[in-house]
Amino acid sequence: MSVDDAARRAEQLRREIETHDRAYYERDASTISDAAYDALFRELQALEAEYPALSTPDSPTRRVGGRPLAQFETVAHAVPMLSIQTETDTGASGAEQFDARIRRELELSGAAPPVEYAAELKFDGLAVSLRYEHGLFAQGATRGDGVNGEDVTQNLKTLHDVPLRLQGVAPPVLEVRGEVYMRRDDLARYNQSARARGEKPLVNPRNGAAGSIRQLDPAIAANRPLKFFAYGLGAVEGWNPPATHRELLDALADFGFPVCEHRIVARGWRALAGFHDRMGEQRAQIPFDFDGVVYKVNSLALQNRLGFRSREPRWAVAHKYPAEEARTVVTAIDVQVGRTGALTPVAKLRPVFVGGVTVTNATLHNEDEARRKDVRVGDTVIVRRAGDVIPEIVNVVPEERPLARMRFRGRKAYLSALETLRAFGMRKISGPYLRRMPRHPAFQLPETCPECGSRVVREEGGAIARCAGGLVCPAQLKGALLHFASRRAMDIEGLGEKLVEQIIAGGHVKTPAGLYALTLPMLATLERMGRKSAANLLAAIEKSKATTLARLIFALGIRNVGESTAKDLAQYFGKLDALSQASAEALEKVPDVGAIVAESILDFFAEAHNREVIECLVAAGVRWPENEGRAGAPPGPFSGKTFVLTGALPTLKRDDAKALIENAGGKVSGSVSRKTDYVVAGEEAGSKLDKARELGIDILDETGLLQQLKGD
């Protein structure tokens, strides 16, 4: 066969295979036997092997998967892949609230006609972005953090739903956003085959889709029944999109992308709520998983006008369905200590499959919540899981609670038990009541931390109980070390998260004071830590010994004591001993220190473990000048004034503006209140500016701030 004949045959085979693929994967119609299809495919493979120049980027043979990768490369999204706000009200009022927000943003009167929306399913899979250059599939990426994703081009090429070449006239650049998913019946067939091969089955369609696309070996993705739906755009060059979202989806379908048929254009919230209800009723019949409906303003011009808030579009919302629920039994209640010292009761559950995964734990949030729901060991409970949200216990099934079987040795013991209960105010007590008492007691948090034995404290009126041993608690150690070494605290350059993890794992440091006992041989053995890097870190640790009282107070990580409050405390008390021995009344005389902050300071210094760490810091050579207050210093132009910064200033960075204000005797607060004197507002100032206007507080821009500083 000549080269020209081979080229013509290869092109014919590609088009023929593409036609059969489209019929099979898009219309679920088989137009050729498996044996005949395999023969065509093998013939094309043989031709491309014999004549490598005939292998084109859009050849069906590219779908079998390339070589395994060592790791995924990072892809910067030209247009960020933003998340969509979730409407947690699962009733019709969820659609009504979204519509009300849109009308308010568009400044529509009550007499204005209904807004036109597009409504489509919220797929339960993996969001990806497909980039096409001059009609050819060039790159595929995961969402990642919305700004940067992972390059999964090889894996996405294995999906028959993803066109390798666009149909029709293609623009120079077209990025299409969509979802990789699995049908439930495809997953069932795959798992059946996997079990027959002795392989581990996939847990659910969502995990199967996400896990397949993130395999380093594309042959694995090629073997999985993955599908794709397109639902939006990223970067576009050389093409003017249609005027509406519905027309955009139609245009994507014309390019060859699969677009979900379950979508409508609706006017007003009632039509949206109706579509939400209809799709909810059909969830069991639709062959793939979805957990809600996405509402979007249909007009792309109005979408541009509405814009974005933070990392979410104002013109769209995901209206979820109620979470899935299941029944199981509580086998134990453990207490976990978080990185901030918060104690969280966690119910250990008899394993139950709910929301697509096997659940063995459920958070009880805090002691009040556990007591309110009255969750006890042995209870039968209803567990809810929605998406990736941590499973929670909805309620207890009281009629299935295990009861005590109380036996009494004689009438005297029985009467004694009755009297004991009556002494606690339980008047209407009878013998049968004693046999109906719960077998297990109500949950109660321990008085000491299960990790370090320090006292457990709880702010008055607060729901969260915390370990007071912030400097010694193993559960809080990583956060304590990172905070202690941060730039505004002790400023230990080079002590990052990975290094802290290694130091803790090696048992080298158990409190912040342990940093000053690190040695060169000890550090040089750590991963990616040569002698030069170790020496630089030790030099930074040594340098940090000379600090200020304000920095030290901030570095201690006392709850509710931020950088600004630490400066106020240092200025007011002048000595650490004076601060550590201060009463609540003395503490509350410090500007902006109220009862909650004072209580946090008292709890911190009341813990002997924390005082021991401070003594160790002093013994290690940490020093600071005493009497740091401004006593005797001339008052600055901002003396006694409180400022709040919001938005981006034209030339001043936030830290620079803060330093200017504080050096002039002023105070910078993080929130607006009636005690605020000025709000300094820059670009994209948010709710703080709104509140300032509401309270009638003076508002300055950068120029006004600098003029005030000069006394103009």
The values of phi and psi at residue 306, to 5°, are -75, -35
CA distance 541 to 160: 57
Residues in the chain: 712
Largest interatomic CA distance in the chain = 109
CA distance 665 to 37: 81
Question: In this structure, is the dihedral angle defined by the CA atoms of residues 501, 503, 507 and 509, taken in order, positive or negative?
Answer: negative
**CB–CB of 688/671 below 8 Å?**
yes
CA distance 370 to 367: 5
Enter the DSSP assignment of 443: P
- By three-state DSSP, how is residue 604 classified? helix
Q: Is 428 a catalytic residue?
A: no
CA distance 17 to 698: 71
* Adjacent-strand bridge partners of 334: 346
3-state SS, one letter per residue, for 97-147: HHHHHHHHHCCCCCCCCCCEEEEEEEECCEEEEEEEECCEEEEEEECCCCC
- By three-state DSSP, how is residue 661 classified? helix
Q: How far is CA 372 from CA 39, 444, 646, in A?
A: 67, 12, 39
Cα 683 versus chain centre, distance: 26
3-state SS, one letter per residue, for 325-366: EEEEEEEEEEEEECCCCEEEEEEEEEEEEECCEEEEEEECCC
Active-site residue (options: 122, 320, 567, 688): 122
CA distance 176 to 253: 11
- By three-state DSSP, how is residue 424 classified? coil
CA distance 248 to 390: 36
**CB–CB of 63/153 below 8 Å?**
no
* CB neighbour list of residue 494: distance below 8 Å, 6 or more residues apart: 533, 536, 537, 540
**CB–CB of 434/420 below 8 Å?**
no
The values of phi and psi at residue 540, to 5°, are -65, -40
- Following DSSP, what letter does each residue of 519-571 receive, concatenated? -HHHHHTSTT--HHHHHHHHHHHHHTTB--HHHHHHHTT-TT--HHHHHHHHH
Cα 452 versus chain centre, distance: 29
CA distance 158 to 176: 17
Enter the DSSP assignment of 321: P
Supply the residues annotated as catalytic.
122
